[in-house]
Amino acid sequence: MKPNDDNGKLPTPERPFRVLLISGSDRRQYNCPGVDSKSRTLMLRMSERLPQEWEIDYEDLGNVYAHARIQSCNACVSTSMALCVWPCNCYEKNNSAEPDLMWDLDMYARLDLADAWAIIGPVNWYAPTSNLKLMFDRLVCMNGGNPREDLIEHKNQEMAMKLEHAPEWAELSRNHLEGSTAGFFCYGDGGGDELDETGRPKILRHKEYFDPEKEPLPEMRDTYAPLVWQCRYGGVEVPDHLWRYVGFGQGKKYSDNQADDMATETNVFAEFDEWADAFAAFVRDKGKVEPGKYRAYGYKPPGHLTEDLKLKWREIKIGLGHPPEGSSPARQKELGLNRDETLRPKKSEGEKLRE
């Protein structure tokens, strides 16, 4: 059935099972590729195959022209775990300055509402797609992020560093989506028709530069290992049999390996259906998942105009060479580490070098 977000208010035993399916390809027919992805085809197929008494939510992360994209993680966690807020407060919904697809699509709440996630996507250069990597980077906050931004005045770096050492931090920092399940179905074409008989690209002139026998990933499903292990680290269960790779299209031109080719010329559907059935069986047998204490569903971000003004004043003072006393920027200035005093932070280092 279609998802009804209001069911998130019900006690867990009274609500239906809910799953979230994600097509992770960057490709959509409403941008320069002009053709929809295979992962979209598989996502829609799975939505029709799962038990229809479940709430089946799904989303296509493909790039649509002039549409918001998933903003990159700002790495607040590297300053302090307590600065990394759950759900992410680096961006916000319907923001014209930094439009963010994660917030515009309510992805934090939808991930929180689901008992299980099915992630479907291609392998791009021995790795997940850029959009899937962006999404999971923005989910670092589910792994111990701070659910109380009021304790750090929205984004006060010094307050966050202090909170991380406070006794109450142990209770605040938790895996906010722990108990959920994730399955990963990734696929690839092994380079299509680009490779010669030695495993090197046909157009490569310097064939002595590398040995194809030393290709780093003997199991291609390991291209998605960073996402799988991020989930596991955060208490999201990824059963080994629900982490799968299927290869097809080897030796074919990319233009001959579209979703319609996959549907008519391969056994991918049979392998995918087996994975989807295994996913459904595991989720059903495991049962519904109780939500965490600090929920993304129903969360209303607080206003932060006053806090933003304070942070802007901090930024100006740092730019003028007067960082907060005793702070990390102050110590870095004293040690001459980063030479980053400026009132024009948007000016690139390359531009400065060429002045």
Q: For residue 190, what pLDDT is reported?
A: 83
**Assigned token pair, 216:** 């780093």
Spatial distance between the Cα atoms of 262 and 71, rounded to a whole number of angstroms: 31
Residues 132, 49, single domain; the answer is yes
Q: Is there a contact between 304 and 190 (Cβ–Cβ < 8 Å)?
A: no
**Assigned token pair, 14:** 């009274």
Residues 299, 320, single domain; the answer is no
DSSP 274: H
Residues 184, 249, single domain; the answer is yes
Q: For residue 285, what pLDDT is reported?
A: 98
- Structural domain span for residue 81: 5-303
Residues 135, 266, single domain; the answer is yes
Asked which of 262, 287, 303 is the last residue of a domain, the reply is 303
Spatial distance between the Cα atoms of 13 and 62, rounded to a whole number of angstroms: 34
Q: For residue 327, what pLDDT is reported?
A: 95
Residues 6+ apart with CB under 8 A from 42: 23, 120, 185, 272
DSSP string, 35-89: S--HHHHHHHHHHHHS-TTSEEEEEE----TTS-BPPPP--GGGT-GGGSBSS--
Nearest 5°: the CA angle 64, 67, 71 is: 105
Q: For residue 215, what pLDDT is reported?
A: 85
Residues 202, 213, single domain; the answer is yes
Number of domains in the chain: 2
Tell me the three state secondary structure of residue 175: strand
Residues 251, 344, single domain; the answer is no
CATH number at residue 267: 3.40.50.360
Residues 314, 299, single domain; the answer is no
Q: For residue 84, what pLDDT is reported?
A: 98
Residues 28, 151, single domain; the answer is yes
Q: For residue 217, what pLDDT is reported?
A: 83
Q: For residue 269, what pLDDT is reported?
A: 96
Q: For residue 165, what pLDDT is reported?
A: 98
Spatial distance between the Cα atoms of 163 and 151, rounded to a whole number of angstroms: 8
DSSP 202: T
Q: pTM, whole model, 2 decimals? A: 0.94
Q: Is there a contact between 242 and 286 (Cβ–Cβ < 8 Å)?
A: no
Asked which of 283, 303, 323 is the last residue of a domain, the reply is 303
What are residue 186's phi and psi, to 5 degrees? -120, 160
Residues 39, 145, single domain; the answer is yes
Asked which of 263, 279, 303 is the last residue of a domain, the reply is 303
Q: What is the mean pLDDT, run by run of 10 residues, along the chain of 355 residues?
A: 96 97 97 96 98 98 96 98 98 96 98 98 96 98 98 97 97 97 95 89 93 88 97 98 95 92 90 98 98 96 95 96 96 95 94 94
Residues 131, 279, single domain; the answer is yes
Spatial distance between the Cα atoms of 215 and 156, rounded to a whole number of angstroms: 45
Task: Order across the sheet with 116-122: list the strands.
Answer: 55-60, 18-23, 116-122, 181-188, 243-247
Q: Is there a contact between 257 and 37 (Cβ–Cβ < 8 Å)?
A: no
Name residue 201's amino acid: P
Residues 321, 298, single domain; the answer is no
Q: For residue 192, what pLDDT is reported?
A: 85
Residues 251, 341, single domain; the answer is no
Alpha helix positions (H), 90-168? 101-104, 107-113, 130-137, 157-163
